[in-house]
């Protein structure tokens, strides 16, 4: 009965595409325990070391006590809303100086739910070709049309908008700010110019920038001063904040529309209240105190050839990428091979992801292990 599935899995194994779940023994801020080894974790999105942090966990539990349940047991539109949900949404709206905010269960839920809801029949989306799979899935589920423009190619985007914009009612430009697999940054100022010139809306996914960039850690939109020009900003709590869930913030009409039309929001059981409370506590009490650390992390990323805290080491072929991971493991580093379809064919890579407690000397052996020509490519 399952022969066709087994055949596909065998093909994946033969092409070094097969994925499996790792049996980790534990995590401790910037370290991970795997196969009996304590390794520097270079594959984590725990950018500010709030997750797996015993001191922070203990401090929060002392603050929270037994005030917050461990389960919501309902969708938000039923009985799944308690005061702490509204408080977090109000806090986010205030931070961004927007009308409203809305929580989602994950960044994936947010992107699928936003793109599929807002792009109605007769509407169009212009999407960066390297946008996350969740954005692509949301566009495919929408009733509208979508076009993908070459990565960060603003001239190509404008030509596409010129050709297509007048055929549709509403037009949305969707882009990540910091791209998850390349670590580079969208040219958001020029995209804002196109928004104004061609009457489009802009949706920016700040998943990998929220908590890291900007004076207050709100992301690249804050850092370059375009929050007011952005129609919707999406952020996640499961990366830099060390919690779970996601949010979108923008005008009241768009948030109300999502409450009424976004299926992942409507039909999902709400995040447990204790997690919502933890997120709010981190934003109010911990995020303001780590500005210097996150700035040092970004500087370290640039020093080793990246454009942010995410540094892609592009190897090319799957097998060679996996071999390099093994070499790094034997030298005390945990990395993972990033392979198609996550990245384009022929660009398999190691995605080095820094966290704010990693120090320069801890990467000395890493640099020695990596081919100097490969690192040189990242600096160009």
* N residues, the chain: 380
Which long-range contacts link 339-345 to residues 24+ away (Cβ below 8 Å)?
339/16, 339/17, 340/17, 342/133, 342/181, 343/181
Sign of torsion over alpha carbons 52, 54, 59, 65: positive
Tokens encoding 192: 């804002």
**Active-site residue flag, 239:** yes
**Catalytic entry in 109, 132, 195, 239:** 239
Q: Which of 30, 195, 208, 309 is catalytic?
A: 208
Q: What is the C-alpha separation between 323 and 250, in angstroms, rounded?
A: 45
180 is catalytic: yes
Q: Which of 180, 243, 308, 353 is catalytic?
A: 180
Q: Which two tokens stand for residue 146?
A: 């979508």
Radius of gyration of the chain (CA): 21
In angstroms, the Cα distances linking 193 to 155, 189, 201, 210, 276 are: 12, 7, 11, 23, 36
Active site (catalytic) residues? 180, 208, 239
């Amino acid at each position: 009965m399952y022969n066709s599935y087994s055949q596909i899995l065998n093909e994946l194994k033969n092409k070094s595409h097969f994925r499996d779940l790792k049996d980790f023994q534990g995590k401790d801020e910037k370290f991970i325990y795997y196969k009996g080894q304590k390794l520097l974790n270079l594959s984590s999105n725990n950018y500010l070391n709030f997750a797996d942090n015993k001191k922070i966990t203990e401090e929060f539990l002392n603050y929270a006590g037994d005030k917050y349940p461990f389960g919501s047991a309902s969708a938000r539109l039923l009985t799944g809303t308690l005061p702490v949900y509204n408080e977090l949404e109000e806090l986010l709206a205030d931070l961004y100086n927007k009308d409203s905010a809305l929580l989602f269960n994950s960044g994936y839920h947010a992107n699928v739910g936003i793109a599929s809801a807002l792009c109605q029949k007769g509407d169009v989306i212009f999407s960066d070709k390297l946008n996350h799979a969740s954005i692509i899935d949301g566009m495919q589920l929408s009733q509208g049309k979508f076009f993908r423009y070459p990565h960060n190619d603003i001239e190509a985007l404008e030509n596409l908008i010129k050709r297509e914009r007048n055929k549709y009612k509403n037009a949305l430009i969707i882009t990540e700010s910091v791209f998850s697999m390349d670590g580079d940054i969208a040219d958001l100022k020029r995209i804002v110019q196109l928004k104004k010139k061609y009457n489009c809306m802009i949706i920016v996914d700040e998943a990998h920038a929220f908590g890291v960039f900007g004076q207050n850690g709100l992301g690249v939109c804050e850092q370059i001063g375009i929050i007011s020009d952005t129609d919707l900003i999406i952020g996640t709590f499961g990366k830099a904040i060390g919690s779970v869930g996601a949010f979108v913030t923008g005008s009241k009409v768009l948030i109300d529309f999502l409450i009424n039309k976004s299926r992942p929001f409507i039909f999902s059981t709400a995040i447990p209240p204790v997690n919502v409370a933890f997120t709010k506590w981190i934003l109010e009490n911990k995020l303001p105190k780590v500005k210097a650390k996150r700035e040092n992390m970004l500087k370290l990323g640039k020093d080793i050839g990246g454009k942010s805290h995410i540094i892609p080491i592009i190897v090319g072929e799957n097998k060679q990428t996996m071999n390099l991971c093994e070499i790094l493991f034997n030298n005390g580093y945990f990395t993972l091979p990033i392979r198609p379809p996550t990245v384009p064919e022929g660009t398999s890579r190691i995605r080095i992801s820094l966290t704010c407690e990693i120090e320069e000397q801890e990467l000395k052996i890493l640099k020695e292990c990596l081919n100097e020509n490969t690192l040189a490519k990242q600096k160009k």
